[in-house]
Each structure stands twice: as structure tokens, then as C-alpha cells.
Structure 1
Amino acid sequence: MGKNIIIIGTQWGDEGKGKIIDLLSPNVNYIVRYQGGHNAGHTLVVNNKKTVLHLLPSGLLHNHIFGVIGNGVVISPRDLLNEIRMLQKQGIYNLQNRIMISESSPLLLEYHVAMDQAREKRLHSVDDNNSNGNTTIIGTTGRGIGPVYEDKVARRGLRIGDLKNIQLFSVNLRKNVNYYNFLLSNYYHSKVVNYDVIIKDILSVRDDLLNMIQDIPNTLDIAMKNDKKIMFEGAQGTFLDIDHGTYPYVTSSNSISGGVCSGVGVGPLAIDYILGVTKCYTTRVGFGPFPTELFDEIDLHFFNIGKELGSSTGRRRRTGWLDIVALRRCIQINSLSALCMTKLDVLDGLKEIKICIAYKLSNGTQITCTPFSVDEWNNLSPVYKILPGWLGSTVGVRSFNLLPLEAKNYILEIESMVGIPIDMISTGPERNDIIILNNPCL
């Protein structure tokens, strides 16, 4: 059997998973997205050229890779096809013959976007007039991800496979448009969507979509029986998981490793190794708890040196020190085999580096586990261990032995704290700016 691995984020996304997936891709045959939509972006830098992918698996820059989009991924047809065209213009070979989509993947349509944006607009309006602060503004990307997952659970969603019967699809589409327009008009007092525009648009891309659909569980089962190697690619991060994240400030899908089974259709025994990608500090986009968040010159350092802007939205990322309490919970619920630490080079030049090792509650009690509710998250403070920084540069270093002593000690300290090995350390944005202590794909 080939070695099948999962690459997931251990924080709130933006950990640098795209680079790691792209780097390991030469040694696998299939790369599979299992959740999320085009609200998440993976940034790849090859020969100083930046490519940002939102729906397509990151490894497709390699011409031998088959890219698979599982049923757990919601698909905006136009965004998917635009992304394919972008890579074709870059000279990426034979793309549409290398992309496979589950026919069960939900379709994200114009009314989902309209609903997402109407809700956020209303919440902001209510919050501005509500001194009690009783509203919950999530800070979504406004791209319709939440509403399309809601349709899936409510069993009114339309899936790519439904396009095979266009007459029935048209009937169900009209029902959905009427449903959403009623809410948009009467509750949100927002602009409604046009059925004729939506059906015309979907018909124009129908053949392209149907030509890419496959029976994904069967395809991957055959691949595994033929000793092919499969990499499962997560979007976002562990603490944006709908069940295990900082609810309600989470995404709408299961971003943890367990989401692979339901989001693709493979059993847990098919997984051999799970790599958690974590920054050497912490960031998150949008609202929600963030115990180690900074508001000082270190925040500016992380923002400026780390170029902390969201790949999909361009929003500024909030920054903070590395949180070991959260990282241990991530290891626990994902069964991580090892870690990949990214952006070590961003810590260059700092006099001291802090690591959160516990949380202090308002009554002075210290805990070493993550809390349940937002109220509990918001009423604790981080307890830090302080390590010396380093003056030397780690940018582009590709051997652990060549790191400054303090940088080596920092990595070894983290490894000791979390109890699993650190197999990879990224030292810059380029594909090959990395220290590989153990390659899981070999």
C-alpha cells in the first residue's frame, strides 16, 4: 500500500499548508481537497512567482498529479473554472484531464453569496445600534460558504451531479431562488437574485463541470489498491472546525483530520500519517477568541515581516505568540503524527520569544486545556515561558545544524512540550526554503 497522508492546519488557518503540499507533491499521485470552499487560499511561491489557489488542490502545479475535489467541498462553478484558466495561462499541462470532482459536491450559487453578505450587513447594523453587544459578528468572507452548507444539511442543496437532469435541476433551482428571495426581500431588505441569470450562467458551464465528475470513493479505492500515494489537503485550520473550533467564530465544515472520511469517502484505516502545519507564532483572520493576541511592536513585526494579509480576502491577520495549550489540543483531536513549523525566519532579530504554556482564569487558577465557550475563552490570559531570541538570519536555511543555537533550542523546546516530532521547518516563502528532517512521502 502507498503511504497516504493528511496535511492540516493546527491554528486558525494561514499556516502555510499550500507550500508544504506543493513541496511534497512530487512524491504522491493524488492530492485531495476534502472540505471548505473558495473562502480559503493556499499561496505557493515558485521561482519568486506567487500563485494563490482557492479550490484546486495545491499540487496541480506538478504535471503528474491528479487533483481531486471531494464531496465535502462546496464549489462556485465560475471561481473553479477561472482558477483552471489561470493555471492554463501559466502553462500547467493537461489540467482538465487531471481534475476530478465528486458529483456530490454542493454547488455554491449567487443566492448563497447574497444571503451571506445580507446577514453580515444586518449584524453590523444591529451591532452599531446595540450597546449591549448581544450580536455575533463572525467576520465571514462573504462568499456564500455558510449558506451553501446550510442548504446541504437542510436537504435542499443542489449538487454538481444534479446537473445531469437539467429539467429537475431547473425546478429545484427555482424553488431555492424563491425561498432565498423571500428572505432577502422581506427579512433582510436586500436586493434579490434573478433566476434567469443564474440558470443561464450554470448552463454555460454545465458541460465543463460534468466532464470532470467522478465516483471519488471508488477512484481513490482503486488508486490505493494499485499502491498509489494520496495526500489529503485541508483548508483553514483546526480551531475553525465547526465542532471543535472556537464556536461560533468558526467555518462551516470539519477542518480537522476526521473530516477526510466524510468529506471524501475513505475509511480511517486508509490514513498512514497526519502532518500538522503550524506557524512559529499564531495568526487568525476575522473575529473570535485569540488568547495570545498582540497589539504592540511585536504585532507590527509579525505583520510586516510575515506579510500577514489573508490570501483570499486581503484582510489583515491578527497576530500573537505561539500557543502550546491550543497546539496540544490540536494534536489530541487530529492524531497528529508530526509537526511542520513554518515562518521561523519571521522570528529573526527578536530579543526574546514567548510561548504560551498555560491559561490563567480570572480567579487566578491556571489551566492547560482549551475552554468550551467564547465567554470562557475571553476571560483568561496567557501564561508565558520566555526564551532568548537570535540575531542571526534563518532565511532560506536548509539544514538544522546551520540554524542559530537559540533557534535550534526554540524548535527543540516546542518538540519537548508537544510530545511529537517536528519533521519539517520552513525558513522562507520559496518552495525549497525548508529544513526536512523526515519526509513523510518517502
Structure 2
Amino acid sequence: MPCLVTVGGFFGDEGKGKIVAYLAKRDNPTIAVRGGVGPNAGHTFAFEGKEYKVRMLPSAALNPSTRLLIGAGVLVNPRILLNEIAMFKADDRTYVDAQCGIIEQQHIDRDKSEDHLKSKVGTTGTGTGPANADRALRTLKLAKDIPELSLYIEDVSNSVNFALEAGEKVLVEGTQGTYLSLFHGGYPYVTSRDVTASGICSDVGIGPKRVDDVLAVFKAYVTRVGGGPLENELSEEEAKKRGWLEFGSVTGRQRRAAPFDFELAKKAVRLNSATQIAVTKMDVLFPECARMRDWNKLSAGAKKFVEEIEGELGVKVTLIGTGPELDDVVDRR
């Protein structure tokens, strides 16, 4: 910080929500701003025994002093957004860029009925792909056209840049993962936008020289939902045996699993110009480290794994997630 961008290093589901929620609590940014595609990305975090899920608001929502912004590149489902604003009592600190695209029911219907998207690509059925297609055709409605969003409309790019010029902290939250990028992922098994750090900055409206740090978030193993290749994919039985059997936070679909992929991680570091790394779910890979918050108390095996990541990727692991709670983090910054 003052401007930190978080991105997913694999195929989404890396635990970015928990990391962003932790950073918002620990560093108290003035602004948290969300880039990425839209409500097809669900971020989950837990605090004091209660689990929270967001699909529209930044995962910084629990910090009452942080303004919650949604960048112009993000697609908005007004119903989902308004429900989340009410859930977090964030009515007076949530702002949506006037140029955010709007997902309507027709986009959801098209997403669910289009065989290529539903059966081959394995999309979430949230309408994001068809809505982005309409945006490319310049027929999509924008947030400024929707009366129920009128109280929340703002020029998000101006707000973020003014905050940075004033020396304030800004936390930029990416969604999905590097290899779901429309341009850099395994096409066609990708999302409908670029979701690398460059794409996220474009969504928010900040130039590359505004960014101080890029935090790439990796899970201690790899998971993905939907179609597409997954190197060294485990069988369902083996994933279950290892405790890696998970389900998507938006669709509820079972995630496919594989061991940590160092080659994919290296490329993700390059694509995103990552300056820091967060590794989540270390407690799943090393149960003896569950809920630990001190580097010195981690097991030798866990430390060796982290050091191997640092050695192979050439970037420091600054945050290590060791449990579901917000503060179950080893902070090495």
C-alpha cells in the first residue's frame, strides 16, 4: 500500500475474499474497490464464527470505515448488490461507477440455455457472458440508467485517483483467477474478461504507475470449476481423502483438484507483475498448522513448502492462511 492490487493466481477459488477481508481489517484502507467480471465470482470469509459471502461488494465490507466501490468494468446485478448493501448496512458507503454494465434476466436466461456456455465451457449461469457480449455490441444498459441505483452512482476512477493523490490507502480486489482470463487463460474455458492485474486496474480506472504492490493469491493446492485442462488432476476419491474436495461458492458445483502447480504459478507471477504472494488453505495441506498465526510455530514441512514457493517464484510469501477465520493468518510483511 497505498495502492495494493490483489489477484488470483490459478483458476479462482484461491481464497482472495479472506485475504482482502483480513487486509481491510488490519490496514484500514480508505477505499476498497472491486474489479473483475461480476456476480459470477463469489468471495467468502468468516469472522467471529459467522460466514459471509459476497458477489458484488468488495470483501472489505466488514470494515465500517472503508468505502466500498465497484469499478466501471464490473457487471452489476442490482438485486444481488442491493441485498448485500442491506446485509452489511453499507448504504452510506457503497458507490457504483455510472458506467458499470447491468445484468438483466434475459442475460441469465441466455447463459443457462446456451449449450456452448452451459455444457462445454461450464459457466456459472449468472448472465455475465451474455451481458459482456451485449456490452461489446454497445447495447447493454449501464448503472446510470437504473433508478434503484441512482443513490449509489459515482465516478469511481476519480474517487480512487483522488484518494491516491491524497496519500490514502486503496485496496483493489480482483476476481476469478489468472487462468480464467479471456486472453491469458485456457480459452474457451475462461471468463468473459481479462482478470489479470492489468485488467483489474483497467476495470477500476487506474494507470499502472498508480500501483505500489500486486499480491498474487494462491491456494496450497489447485482447484477449478467447470471445463478445461487441469494438470495432474486428482480423482474425486483421492481429493476427498486429502480433504481437497470443495464446492463453488456461487454454483455449488464440485471443484476439481490437483497439487500446487509451480509452472502455472511462475507464469502468473510474470503476467501480474506480482510483488507479494499469499498462500491460503495451508491448514488443509498441513493440518498441524491449523489456526496458527506465528511463522515460528509452523511445522518444518509447512515452512519448507513456503520456502520452495519463494525459491521457485522469486517472490516473498507475505501472508499465509491457516484457517477459515479472518485472523487465521501468518503475516510476514
Specify the alignment match of 1:12 in structure 2: 11
Residue-pair matches, total: 331
Which ranges of structure 2 fall in alignment gaps of 5 or more residues?
A: none
Given the alignment of the two structures, is residue 71 of structure 1 paired with residue 54 of structure 2, yes or no?
A: no
- Residue 25 in structure 1 maps to residue 8 in structure 2: no
- Residues in 2 aligned to 1:218 and 1:85: alpha-carbon distance in whole angstroms: 25
Alignment partner of 1:102 is 2:102: no
- Check if 1:397 corresponds to 2:292: yes
The aligned runs of 1:420-431 (5 Å cut-off) are 420-431=315-326
1:145 maps to: 128
- 1:390: which partner in 2? none
Amino acid at match of 1:20: I
Match of 1:288 among 228, 251, 260: 228
1:247 aligns with 2:187: yes
The secondary structure found in structure 2 opposite 1:101 is strand
* Secondary structure of the structure 1 residue equivalent to 2:101: coil
CA RMSD of the aligned region, Å? 1.5
Give distance in 2, aligned partners of 1:306 and 1:299: 5
Q: Which residue of 2 aligns with 1:224?
A: 164
Matched, 1:419 2:318: no
Secondary structure of the structure 1 residue equivalent to 2:53: strand
Q: Which residue of 2 aligns with 1:158?
A: 141
- Distance, in Å, in 2 between the alignment partners of 1:340 and 1:156 is 39
How far off is 1:121 after superposition?
8.0
- Structure 2 residue 115 is matched with structure 1 residue 115: no
Aligned to 2:265: 327
Instruction: Check 1:100–1:296 CA distance in 2 against 1; reply closer, same or farther (3 A cut).
Output: closer
Structure 1 gaps, min length 5:
89-94, 125-136, 164-205, 350-392
| Partner Cα distance (2:178, 2:124) in 1 | 18
Between structure 1 and structure 2, the one with the greater Rg is: 1
Match of 2:60 in 1: 59
Taking the aligned partners of 1:307 and 1:249, their CA distance within structure 2 comes to 21
Q: CA separation in 2, counterparts of 1:70 and 1:121?
A: 29
Structure 2 Cα separation of the partners of residues 296 and 144 of structure 1: 29
Cα distance in 1, alignment partners of residues 145 and 256 from structure 2: 40
* CA distance in 2 between partners of 1:297 and 1:114 (Å): 34
Partner of 1:313, secondary structure, is: coil
How far apart are residue 400 of structure 1 and its match? 1.3
**2:40–2:128: 8 Å Cα contact kept in structure 1?**
yes
Aligned position for 1:236: 176
State TM-score, norm by structure 2: 0.96
Contact 1:292 1:322 in 2 (8 A): no
Instruction: Quickly say closer, same or farther: Cα 1:123–1:72, change in 2 above 3 A.
Output: closer
Superposed CA offset, 1:367-389 (max 9, x none): xxxxxxxxxxxxxxxxxxxxxxx
> Hey, what's the Cα distance between the residues in 1 that align with 2:183 and 2:206?
20
- Any conservation in 1 of the 2:112–2:118 contact (CA below 8 Å)? no
SS in 1 for 2:45: strand
Q: Which moved more, 1:261-270 or 1:52-61?
A: 261-270
Deviates more, 1:10-19 or 1:397-406: 397-406
CA distance in 1, matches of 2:241, 2:292: 20
Which residue in the other structure is 2:285 paired with? 347
Paired letter, 2:11: W
Q: Which position in structure 2 is the counterpart of 1:47? A: 48
Asked if the contact 1:102–1:213 (Cα under 8 Å) also holds between the matched residues in 2, the reply is: yes
Three-state SS of the structure 1 residue aligned to 2:60 is helix
SS in structure 1 at match of 2:102: coil
Paired residues for 1:359-370 under 5 Å: none
Instruction: Show CA shifts across 1:129-161 (max 9, x none).
Output: xxxxxxxx0111111100000011111111011
Q: Give the secondary structure class of the aligned counterpart of 2:278.
A: strand
Residue 149 to residue 408, structure 1, CA distance change in 2 (3 Å): same
Deviation at 1:86, TM superposition (A): 2.4
TM-score normalized with structure 1 length: 0.73
- The DSSP-based 3-state class of the residue aligned with 2:320 is strand
Give per-residue Cα distances to partners, 1:234-260, cap 9 Å, x unaligned: 111000011001111000111100013
Whether the 8 Å CA contact 1:40–1:312 is kept in 2: the answer is yes
Deviations along 1:20-71, one digit per CA (max 9) or x if unpaired, are: 1011113211111112111111101001100000000110111001000011
CA–CA distance in 1 between the matches of 2:158 and 2:309? Answer: 40
Q: Does the 8 Å CA contact 2:118/2:125 hold for their aligned counterparts?
A: no
Q: Aligned to 2:162, what secondary structure does the other structure show?
A: helix
C-alpha deviations, 1:174-212, integer Å up to 9, x for none?
xxxxxxxxxxxxxxxxxxxxxxxxxxxxxxxx2x30110
| 1:209 paired residue number | 149
Separation in structure 2 between the aligned mates of residue 409 and residue 264 of structure 1, nearest angstrom: 37
Runs of 4+ in 1 over 4 A off after TM superposition: 121-124
Alignment partner of 2:219 out of 254, 279, 303 = 279
1:49-101 per-position Cα deviation (integer Å, ceiling 9, x unaligned)? 0000000011011100100001111011111112222223xxxxxx1110010
Q: Distance in 1 between matches of 2:118 and 2:213?
A: 41
Distance of 1:268 and 1:276 partners within structure 2: 16
Per-residue deviation, 1:308: 1.1
Structure 2: distance between partners of 1:316 and 1:286: 9
Residue 154 of structure 2 aligns with an amino acid whose one-letter code is Q
Q: What displacement does 1:123 show?
A: 6.5
